[in-house]
Amino acid sequence: MVKRFLTAAIAATMILGATSVFGAPPGYDAVEVKDGGTIKGRVVFGGDAPERKKLEVTKDHEACGKDAKLSDELTVNAENKGIQWAVVYVKKIKKGKAWPEGSMKQTYDQKACVFTEHVKVIPVGCTLEMSNSDAVLHNVKAASMKTNFNESIPANDKIEQTFNFDEQVKLECSVHPWMSSYLFVSEHPYAVVTDADGNFELTDLPKGKYNIIAWQETLGKHDKKGEKVEIKGGDTQELELKFEGK
């Protein structure tokens, strides 16, 4: 009898576990947010702004262009030290607004042999239609902790990929070594990419205390625990997140 009960319990656990991976994101409840607050500010570099690396275009010049491309992997604004393409997110938020409609199916393009969005935030379970707008073949590959694939995309064609895990996924092209980008796959929608001045804005946060973290692909997290911010209801809190001594 005990054995039968245990078997049933294990089966139930397995079913619940599978649902949490492939169904709605585990550990996050989408609710209506009334009188939500905003956290906004900038992500800045602590030292002198480094020069962007030059990436030589070594082949397929007709489709990719002849001139070297400026790398997006660390893009610091020389005038105001703002960091572009960082992601600012709320650590371990369990409840809040839903993802915008249409978030589970999005597009992602490659044009002139560059991924057109260098960093993109998507929800866990999102399917990306990855297109190739060039007249040459691209081969997109991902090798992160949990997401692995390696797929050719013929000229002017597309493929679909689904991202089921809460992690950062680096995308590269095995034909054109200068091509790279990152997908920031998140359970909750409180994660945004910074603009060319390092600006960010997280909106519709329920009342509560939060830890805010900035992540950048070459610098990691600006702080492990994050910056503490309290939203009291309908208020706007300003925040500067600095990568010190980097």
Q: Is 187 exposed, middle or buried (0-12, 13-18, 19+ CB in 10 A)?
A: buried
In terms of CB distance, is 110 or 237 closer to Cu ion? Answer: 110
> 132: alpha, beta or left, given left = phi > 0 and alpha = psi -120 to 50?
beta
Binding stretches for Cu ion (CB under 5 A): 138, 173, 175-176
Closest CA to 187 of 145, 125, 129: 125
CB of 167 to Cu ion, least distance (A): 23
CB of 179 to Cu ion, least distance (A): 5
Here the tokens at position 28 are: 């996050």
Q: Beta partners for 199?
A: 42
Amino acid at position 44, single letter: V
CB of 74 to Cu ion, least distance (A): 21
In terms of CB distance, is 180 or 237 closer to Cu ion? Answer: 180
In terms of CB distance, is 90 or 179 closer to Cu ion? Answer: 179
Residue nearest to Cu ion (CB): 173
In terms of CB distance, is 153 or 212 closer to Cu ion? Answer: 153
Local structure of 107: helix, strand or coil: strand
CB of 161 to Cu ion, least distance (A): 16
In terms of CB distance, is 10 or 70 closer to Cu ion? Answer: 70
Closest CA to 161 of 149, 170, 146: 149
CB of 232 to Cu ion, least distance (A): 49
Cα distances (Å, whole numbers) of residue 46 to 39, 66, 94: 21, 34, 31
